[in-house]
Structure 1
Amino acid sequence: MPYNYRLSEEAESDVYESYVWYEKQKEGLGEEFLDALDAAEQAIAGNPKTYRARYKKKVRAFVVDRFPYLVLYVINGNDIAVISVFNTNQHPGRWKERVQ
């Protein structure tokens, strides 16, 4: 079954802020971050139930290659709703409020 993969506004903001931060660290690193997120999207959309459900057995997490991030998402029918692109160096409360 094909899945619809969508980022919430909050997740889009997470991506943008992280992209800008990585580009400031080294030109081109932000693009590499976006490439890693594209690969994450392909993996998740290909088989979203593969990745472990965590918070209240509702939110699943995909570990992004090379960067300290999790893509946190919820499956609802054939929709994949990304609620956060979470920097694992941050406090988890930042994304948990998005679940409720």
Structure 2
Amino acid sequence: MSAFDEAMDKVCQSPDRFRVEFQPDVRKFRVPGFPYNILYRLVGREVEVLVVAPHRRRPGYWLGRL
């Protein structure tokens, strides 16, 4: 949980820093030391977390849920 908290702190401090990986405007941050990505988008000035996805298991399974 502390790794996730630290990752979210980085995302919230500079959400524009990370590149758009999927449309519409979905950005990805890889959680250091763990096999998970945080996928999020900006809604106004807020960060909306869409999914915390594993790197290997069923990649992209969540795309249909956007």
Percent of pairs identical after alignment? Answer: 32
Q: Is the partner of 2:28 in helix, strand or coil?
A: strand
Which residue of 2 is the match for residue 4 of structure 1?
Answer: none
Which residue of 1 is the match for residue 46 of structure 2?
Answer: 79
Normalized per residue, which structure has more helix?
Answer: 1
RMSD (CA atoms): 1.1
Instruction: Specify which structure has the bigger relative contact order, considering alpha-carbon pairs within 8 angstroms and separated by 6 or more residues.
Output: 1
Which residue of 1 is the match for residue 31 of structure 2?
Answer: 64
- Structure 1 residue ranges without an equivalent (≥5): 1-33
Please report the TM-score for the alignment, with normalisation by the length of structure 2. 0.90
Which residue of 2 is the match for residue 37 of structure 1?
Answer: 4
- Structure 2 residue ranges without an equivalent (≥5): none
Higher-Rg member (1/2): 1
Please report the TM-score for the alignment, with normalisation by the length of structure 1. 0.62
Q: Is the partner of 2:23 in helix, strand or coil?
A: helix
Q: CA deviation at 1:74?
A: 0.8
Aligned residues: 66
AA of the residue aligned to 2:43: N
AA of the residue aligned to 2:57: Q
Which residue of 2 is the match for residue 97 of structure 1?
Answer: 64
